[in-house]
Amino acid sequence: MSQVASLTLRQPVKEDGTKVYDLIRRAGTLDLNSAYCYLLLCDMFSQTCVVAEEDDRIVGFISGFYRQEQPSTLFVWQAAVDSAMRGRGLASSMLEELLAREHPEPLEYVEATVSPSNTASRRLFQSFADVYQVPLRELDESGYAPTMFPDAQSHEAEPLLRIGPFRGQSRK
C-alpha cells in the first residue's frame, strides 16, 4: 500500500468491483468489461491490480496478470484514471505500486496493448521505459487488429507494446 498525496494505492478487494466498473464506465476511453469481470479482477487477480482511493471513491485502477506461458511477463490490461485526477501522475504511481510488489518470478517484461488514440497510456508506458532505461517496442504481428472485434468498424487496433527486458534496474 502506498500514499500519493491524499490518495491510497492498494490491492483491490471484491467489494471494490462495482466502483471499478463505474470508474471505467465514466472514463469512457476503455473497453467496458462486465461488472462480473471487474469483480473477478478485484477478487481473484488482486495481486496484479491496483486501485487508487480518495476518501471512499475509487479514482484510479490498473488491472493486469502474468502471462501463462511466460510468468516473468506482466500484462497490464487496463489503466484508468478518473478525469478529475488526471495530470497528477496517478497512472505512473499505480504502475510503480504494481511493479514494487512481490512477483512469482523476477519481472523481465511489461506488456500492454494500447490503441493509437489512447495517448495517455502510450505516454505512461514510454515514460516508464525511459525512467527504467529499457526499450519499449511495438511488436509487429502481435496485438489485435480491428477485424478481431465484432465491431470491427469501430474498434481501433490494439498493438502490443513490450517494455524491457528489465534486469533488476531501478528507476533512473
Residues at the interface with ligand 9YT (CB under 6 A): 30-31, 76-79, 112-115, 121, 158
Q: Which is nearer to ligand 9YT, 46 or 78 (CB)?
A: 78
Nearer to ligand 9YT, 77 or 166 (CB): 77
CB of 23 to ligand 9YT, least distance (A): 12
The helix or strand, by DSSP H or E, that contains position 146, with its residue range, turns out to be none
For residues 167 and 163, what is the distance between their CA atoms, to the nearest angstrom?
12
Write out the three cell numbers for 104: 512469482
Q: How many other C-beta atoms can be found within 10 angstroms of the C-beta atom of residue 11?
A: 17
Q: How far is the CB of 18 from ligand 9YT (least distance, A)?
A: 18
Rounded CA separation 60/94 (Å): 8
Q: H helices of 35-152, where?
A: 35-44, 90-99, 119-132
Cβ closest to ligand 9YT, residue 31 vs residue 105? 31
The candidate with the shortest Cα–Cα distance to 6, out of 47, 52, 49, is 52
Closest residue by beta carbon to ligand 9YT: 30
Residue 129 CB, nearest distance to ligand 9YT (Å)? 14
**In angstroms, what is the minimal distance from the CB of 16 to ligand 9YT?**
18
